[in-house]
Amino acid sequence: MFKKDFPYFNNSKTVYLDNAATTQKPQCVIDSQIEYYEKYCSNTHRSNFGHANKATINFEKTRTLLKEFINASKNEEIIFTKGVTESINFIANSYAKNFKTVIISSLEHHSNIVPWHMQKRTLGNGLEVVRCNNNLDFDFEHFEQILKNNPKSFVSVTHISNAFGKIYDIKKITELAHKYDAVVMVDGAQSLAHLKVDMQDLDVDFFAISAHKTFGPTGVGAIYVKEKYLKEIEPYQTGGATIDEVTFNTSTLLDSPYKFEAGTQNIAGIIGFGKALEYLNIIGYENIQIVENDVYRYLDEELRKIPKIIFYNDINDSIGSRSFNFEGLVHDDIGILLDKMNIALRVGHHCAQPIMKQLNVKGTIRVSIAFYNDYNDVSELITALRKALQMLDA
């Protein structure tokens, strides 16, 4: 129903089921970037001629759209970055480095693990990992124990696992963390494509966003920073566009968000991200969820009919991604055969090696859907999977 808005599907016969890696882009997102380059390409927040002003207005429009989209309270709380990886690294290296202990969950993407390892190595900060059970549920008792032993720590957890689609209850995590004076950052890379998020309701302190996983361009993202932290956080990069005044001896910085956005930004990308948000506003999350849940359940039902399939979580509290293996088979072999049958999905560790180790697997086969996927995509996948299994004599 929605595929007509995405030129990729007119140009390709590929069954695209790798949306957790990146989503396709609607025509309006592509057009807005071409329009910027063809008709008013200029830098933002610097020059004062017509096209430069238009670029600045459209760039800042995305900030306003995003602020409203996630119900932040002020535009200043929205800081553009290259994506979730840069958002996490920014907060890790500017604010969180002052905390003695960082708490993460077992389901984190490497982007929310490796920056903390670097800090552990260079600053000696502690790192604690909240356990999950064998349905990948977040262990709140263990979390509380860690918080009790390490009050005033920095909690950094994923909202939706990219590897398994598991949703964590961020509101509950934040409430508990705040009880022990901890600060909470959420890796929201997988959130906006599937769920409405509301900064007031979740009450998180930081929320990392990725445009390319939200039908927007690659190389763009943002971090929501609750207003009360904006003054105390130092930028981790500085340079042009961040300053008020510079002499040979010293410099004074602008206020947020500009003090954090050093150098020329991905202007076309940020304008394109705004278009993606406008597009999502038109479709509406109610519609997205109806269509997507239906296909997600159908996918699960059809997969369950295949013998020797192994899942790692049930589909309650899960969204978007479904990860599995087949007894006695190597996930890579399936991936190679599916690629030959024009099915695009990801096999491997999905940048989440620690949880794969915990589950005693090298990786999984991951099908990740978006609202434009339909029953037909699932049927083609299942036919191809059965063929691949036959070829492998399984």
Ligand X SMILES: Cc1ncc(COP(=O)(O)O)c(C=O)c1O
Active site members:
351
Q: How far is the CB of 20 from ligand X (least distance, A)?
A: 6
Q: Is the dihedral of CA 183, 190, 200, 226 positive or negative?
A: positive
Residue 320 binds to ligand X (criterion: CB under 6 A): no
Residue 109 binds to ligand X (criterion: CB under 6 A): yes
Residues 6+ apart with CB under 8 A from 282: none
Residue 217 binds to ligand X (criterion: CB under 6 A): no
Site string for ligand X, 51-90 (x = CB under 6 A): --------------------------------xxx-----
Q: How far apart are CA 182 and CA 157, in angstroms?
A: 13
Q: Say how many residues touch ligand X, by CB under 6 A.
A: 14
Would you give the distance in Å from CA 157 to the centre of its chain?
12
Residue 18 binds to ligand X (criterion: CB under 6 A): no
Tokens of 143: 């979390």
What Cα–Cα distance (Å) separates residue 327 from each residue in 23, 322, 389? 30, 17, 11
Q: How far is the CB of 304 from ligand X (least distance, A)?
A: 25
Q: For ligand X, which is the closer residue by CB, 219 or 306? A: 219
| Binding test (CB under 6 A) with ligand X, winner from 32, 44, 106, 111 | 111
CA angle 262, 263, 264 (to 5 degrees): 130
Q: How far is the CB of 177 from ligand X (least distance, A)?
A: 19
Contact segment (CB under 6 A) with ligand X among 49-57, 184-192, 198-206, 280-288 equals: 184-192
Q: For ligand X, which is the closer residue by CB, 23 or 162? A: 162
From the list 80, 50, 52, the residue with the least C-alpha distance to 64 is 80
Residue 221 binds to ligand X (criterion: CB under 6 A): yes
Tokens of 331: 């996930």
Question: Which residues does residue 223 pair with via DSSP β-bridges, in sequence order?
Answer: 79, 208
Count of residues for the chain?
A: 394
Residue 272 binds to ligand X (criterion: CB under 6 A): no
Residue 349 binds to ligand X (criterion: CB under 6 A): no
Q: How far apart are CA 308 and CA 255, in angstroms?
A: 58
* Positions in the binding site for ligand X (CB under 6 A): 20, 83-85, 109, 111, 158, 162, 187, 189-190, 210, 221, 351
